[in-house]
Amino acid sequence: MDKLSTTPRSSSRRAWANLTTVVLVLLVLPYLWHRTHNPTTFLPKLHSTASSSNKCSQYFAHLVASDPAIDIAHHELPSAMASLRIFAHCYLDNDQLPLPPGLEAKIIPFLQPQLPHHFTRNGSALLREVPPHALIWRTFRTQMKGKGIVIGCDRNDQLALIIALLNVLDALGNELPIQIVHSVDVPHDEVHAAATNLNQQVWFVNASSVTKQPLSIRTVATIINSFEEMIYMDPASVPLVAPAMLFDTQRYVDTGLLFFKDKKEVPSYLARSYKGLYTSLLPTSEEKAIFGTRQLASIWNKISTTHKNGTHSPQHEVSIFESNFRSVVSDGLFVINRSEHFMGLIIGAALELWGKNHSHQPKELLWLGHVISGGISPASVAKSFNYYYSAIPGTIATNKLSLSVCGSTQFHFSDEDQEVESPTALWASGLLQQAQLDELEGSIIPSDYPFRDATNDNNLSCIFIAKSSNEDTYKYSGVKQAQRRSQRLIKFTPEELAHFRHVMHAWASHEHVM
């Protein structure tokens, strides 16, 4: 009887013991898997290895042994970024090391293991074929040549905009070659006819032949064009100066990058958890010690800059990193030296695919990818941003208390002539209609304080400057915000207005646009 009475207790204990074992296994297995499949845990063992080639071969041999499929897309994001950086250091930057078979396609699984084809109307190919057993993207990188303009096209309804953009480029005296990277069928004959009449040299690159997974056309275009130095233009962007001059700006000369700031919107801050995530993606001290990559402690430190006129402007760079806004860069036009920053483009593409839940908008990966690649410091990336936020051009209205400008277009001004009364307008996000152009008087460049997007029927946004105080007042759709930082009122000269009309006429001159 006593024996029978203890059986339920024994069964209960065994059940609890089994349950505890299962729970422990479930808790420990992910940790063990992480330790086994995270190649960065192997880094300390490489310190004693003498040669760079041995370090590279041992690192990737361990990676293959721990995960034969090398499904890097399912690795934890920090270890995936580390493997990409080390791969670039070992095999993209060093053309002497032999590549383990099949490694490239596994480390960069979102791109096909073949070179993109660049064709003219008559079928001429711009790039050579890859030699047998050669590294595809190292070969591609060595074949980058010259400077040019890249236009991304992922919708058929962008054709009219592209032809209009070719008209504008011709009117501005553009002599740079142009590559149209497209993921949809583009009528080559029609575009070439327009380009030939305008004396513009155009090449076509089919993005679908290179990408394995869906990426934004902007991201693909920055990777697969053939230029060593490129100016990317969205079809809806309108340059207002000869594009080649952007390569001569001091920010680009110093950093190999040139970005423009977007319109500041209502504060949308980066969550604290994402700050930790992005910091975890940066190169570590072990990477630096073993492979010589740049170590970056944080991208959230305060950064300031000194301008040509000697003024010190700490708020400019701080607003990019330390203020933690989710939206900073304008993706309509930017300039990149691809030979210097190619890995930053690859890292940005990987983040776009593998970081679907990241807090930043995909366009922000244009600059974040370069920081995380370790190829450039946060301070240098911050320096690559044009000082001014996008401005609103229009009629200057006045009353007793303030001046205001309202409009639906954004202008991006040069920051290299801050001492002159009217800085140069470099490009526009969207084009002024004729009615707006007839009433165009000036523009207000906002300070770094965020403001609301327009929601009214006319899709107009307005910025106000107070006349009699040091407070600048912003008004977007009836919402006012005051901020004690200076804005800048610009009044266009007759020569500038005539130039804008010249660009507008060129943009509207094609029958598809009229």
pLDDT for 210 equals 79
CA angle, residues 350, 262, 493, in degrees to nearest 5: 145
Give one DSSP letter per residue of 227-240, joined into a string. -SEEEEE-TTEEES
pLDDT band at residue 225 under the 50/70/90 scheme: very high
Q: Per-residue confidence at 470, pLDDT binned at 50, 70, 90?
A: very low
Q: How confident is the model at residue 336 (pLDDT cuts 50, 70, 90)?
A: very high
Confidence of residue 451 (pLDDT cuts 50, 70, 90): very low
How far apart, in Å, do the first and last CA atoms of the chain sit? Answer: 100
Helix (H) or strand (E) holding 159: helix 159-171
- Closest by CA to 456, choosing from 411, 410, 409, 408, is 408
Lowest mean pLDDT among 162-176, 332-346, 372-386: 372-386
Beta strand pairing status for 147-153 and 178-182? parallel
Contact assessment for residue 402 and residue 466, using Cβ atoms and an 8 Å cutoff: yes
Strands 229-233 and 147-153, by their bridges, are parallel
Confidence of residue 126 (pLDDT cuts 50, 70, 90): low
Is the Cβ–Cβ distance between 336 and 259 less than 8 Å? no
User: Minimum mean pLDDT among 55-69, 216-230, 320-334: which range?
Assistant: 320-334
Domains recognised in the chain with CATH numbers: 36-109 (no CATH), 118-387 (3.90.550), 390-507 (no CATH)
How far CA 113 is from CA of 92, 104, 105, 106, in Å, comes to 14, 8, 6, 10
**Rounded Cα gap, residues 168 and 145, in angstroms:** 25
- Using only C-alpha atoms, the chain has a radius of gyration, in whole angstroms, of 27
284-305 in b/e form (b: 16+ CB < 10 A) is bebbeebbebeebeebbeebeb
- Residue 495 CA to residue 493 CA, distance in Å, equals 5
Q: Is the distance from CB of 264 to CB of 451 less than 8 angstroms?
A: yes
CA 502-436-460 angle, to 5 degrees, is 135
pLDDT tens-place string over residues 249-273: 999 999 999 999 887 654 555 666 6
Closest CA to 232 of 257, 207, 215, 195: 257
Give the pLDDT mean for 216-238: 94
| CA–CA distances in Å: residue 340 to residues 4, 52, 139, 260, 344 | 79, 21, 15, 19, 9
Comparing 212 with 61, the larger pLDDT belongs to 61
> 365 falls in which pLDDT band (50, 70, 90)?
confident
| Residue 132: band (very low, low, confident or very high) from pLDDT cuts 50, 70, 90 | low
* Reported confidence tier of residue 342, pLDDT bands at 50, 70, 90: very high
pLDDT, mean of residues 100-109:
79
For 275-290, the pLDDT digits (tens) are 677 778 888 888 887 8
Q: What's the pLDDT score for residue 450?
A: 47
d(Cα 446, Cα 486) in Å, to the nearest integer? 8
Q: Is the pLDDT of residue 97 over 60?
A: yes
At 485-494, the pLDDT tens digits run 457 788 999 9
Distance (Å, rounded) from C-alpha 480 to C-alpha 472? 10
**Is it the case that residue 514 has pLDDT exceeding 70?**
no
**pLDDT confidence bin for 245, thresholds 50/70/90:** very high
Higher pLDDT, residue 52 or 508: 508
What does DSSP assign to residue 278? H
Q: For residue 26, is pLDDT > 60?
A: no
d(CA 28, CA 20): 12
Q: Which helix (H) or strand (E) holds 23?
A: helix 2-37
Identity of the highest mean pLDDT range in 48-52, 84-88, 137-141: 84-88
Identify the top-confidence range among 38-42, 58-62, 436-440, 493-497.
493-497
